Copies of this chain bind each other. A is one copy, B any other.
Amino acid sequence: MNDSEQSGWSDTTIDDAQAQRNPEVSRDVARIKQLRQSIDNVDTAIVSLLAERFTCTAEVGALKARAGFAPEDKEREKRQSERLHQVAVSAGLDPDIEERYHEFVVTEAKKRHQRIADAGGDPGALGVSA
């Protein structure tokens, strides 16, 4: 691949026509497509698991509202963080990504706990299983 081709591709996306003119790029494009299939499969699994997670947290939210417990539990969050950090290290995931994941789900769960509490403990207030 020469410099002018290189600069021509640097702001473009995967392109089958360009790939066919270069066997090495063709192999790379085939491998990218294979990896994208794996990424899509992982996303399907994660979105399905998030549905389970938010079904669980909706029930926790309803039980907390009924018992009068606060939507937030700092001690629980701290224990979760420490545990998930270890899971990330064992799995070879950048702990920064794991922290962002945890922050995302805890923030969403707490928002929903508050909405359930405001609706007098009715998880139906969420409209969906989340």
**Residues on A facing B (Cβ under 8 Å):** 1, 5-15, 19, 24-25, 28-29, 31-32, 35-36, 38-40, 42-57, 59-60, 63-64, 66-70, 72-76, 80, 83-84, 87-88, 91-94, 96-98, 100-102, 104-105, 108, 126-130
Q: Are A68 and B10 in contact (CB under 8 A)?
A: yes
Instruction: Say how many copies of this protein the assembly contains.
Output: 2
Q: Are A69 and B129 in contact (CB under 8 A)?
A: no
A-B contact pairs, 9 of them (CB 8 A): A29-B67, A32-B60, A35-B59, A35-B63, A38-B56, A43-B53, A43-B84, A47-B84, A97-B108
Q: Are A94 and B128 in contact (CB under 8 A)?
A: yes
The listed residue (B31, B73, B94, B100) touching A14 by CB distance below 8 A is B73
State A9–B101 Cα separation when bound (angstroms): 30
Inter-chain contacts of A129 with B (CB < 8 A): 92-94
Main SS of the interface on chain A?
A: helix
If A44-B87, A68-B1 touch, whether A13 touches B76 (CB-CB below 8 Å) is yes
Q: Are A130 and B97 in contact (CB under 8 A)?
A: yes
